Amino acid sequence: MTDRALAVVRAGALTTVQDLGRTGYAHLGVPRSGALDPGAARLVNRLVGNPEDAAVLETTVNGCAVRPRCPITVAVGGAPCPVTVDGRPVAWGTTVRVPAGALLDVGAATRGLRAYVGFGGGLAVEPVLGSRSTDLLSGLGPAPLADGAVLPLGTESAPRGWVDAPPWPGPADELVLRVRLGPRDDWFTPAALRTLATRAYRVSPATNRIGLRTEGPPLERAVTAELPSEGMVLGAVQVPPDGRPVVFLADHPTTGGYPVVAVVREADLAAAAQAVPGTVVRFVPVR
């Protein structure tokens, strides 16, 4: 019987198993988690014939290398990067057939931050609360990849949609985040709200799967009292004591005690997942 699994040869800076996340558990303190760039995850799954919610690998900055123990169809998307099989260059952004025992190496991102690796049949790690996603905040799901780890693969089916040149959007040179002000915008001065809407910020190197941290002009509070902890949503723009906005991403806490000045439209968060440190960030209030 074929051994449907892959061995991790090079785990990379941070590679995790992700699907489209676990919903419906915020009341238990469990965030959604899931792929930070869900469009990229969906597309690599479509290319290899998987359901869109199959589990994939999400790499960060410098990719990873794995050795499948069976022949497998693979697609690498998200952040553009070099891809090789046993040292030979292969195509990024479309399907590649990898022989059993060959080394699939996903290299460092040339633009953006996070690449997605889809495998025919998906990664068949044990689901937790209905999802196979790694949640770095709560520790649910499989641990981040480590050298020598072995991950099971699901049963591969014939790809449903072969696409020679899928429309991969490139990472933006400037990150524009549309926001709806509130619920705590009245905790900030009018000057602070003008600053948020008109001044440029930059992505901080401290950004992670929990939140996109920014560097730039601080937002002045009009209300300096302590705020009791309240529920937090995906895309919430929380303002900690240093006044620099933090955009909550997939692994965000479900409660928090700093005021939320605005909420980013969910459609804009995939671009935030690919924004490298130093990228200019602009917040654009919309109704």
Q: How far apart are CA 201 and CA 160, in angstroms?
A: 42
User: SS3 for 157?
Assistant: coil
Neighbours of 240 (CB within 10 A): 15
Q: Does residue 1 have a pLDDT over 50?
A: no
Domains of the chain are 5-152 (no CATH), 174-285 (2.40.100.10)
In the chain, pLDDT over 70 holds for what percent of residues?
95
Q: What's the whole-number average pLDDT of the chain?
A: 94
pLDDT above 60: residue 160? no
- What pTM was computed for the model? 0.94
Which burial class, exposed, middle or buried, applies to 164 when counting CB atoms under 10 A from its CB (0-12, 13-18, 19+)?
exposed
Residue of 78, 107, 45, 96 lying closest to 168 (CA atoms): 78
Q: Could you read off the pLDDT of 71-117 as tens digits, one per residue? A: 999 999 999 999 999 999 999 999 999 999 999 999 999 999 999 99
User: Comparing 33-37, 156-160, 230-234, which segment has the lowest mean pLDDT?
Assistant: 156-160
The confidence score (pLDDT) of residue 280 equals 98
Q: What is the pLDDT of residue 2?
A: 62
